[in-house]
């Protein structure tokens, strides 16, 4: 979900406007997985590092 306001003054901090993925995030996830972390551990790591709302689920 993308926060919206009528004036259009919202400026995202983590991912720029129009950007779908964070720079370097894919390679970081692959390296964590290759290092032996489970998907659940990676998700928890990202939630604590980036914030609980930053990590979404594709199946919702």
DSSP 8-state code for residue 26: H
Q: How many CB atoms lie within 10 A of CB 12?
A: 11
Q: So what's the pLDDT on residue 55?
A: 66
**Helix and strand numbers, DSSP H then E, in the chain:** 2, 0
pTM equals 0.57
Per-residue pLDDT of the chain (60 residues; tens, 9 = 90+): 666 677 777 777 777 777 777 778 888 889 999 999 999 999 999 888 877 666 665 544
């Amino acid at each position: 979900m993308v926060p919206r306001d009528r004036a259009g003054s919202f400026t995202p901090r983590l991912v720029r406007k129009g950007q779908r993925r964070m720079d370097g995030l894919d390679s970081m996830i692959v390296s964590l997985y290759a290092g032996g972390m489970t998907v659940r551990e990676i998700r928890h790591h990202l939630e604590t590092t980036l914030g609980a709302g930053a990590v979404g689920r594709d199946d919702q």
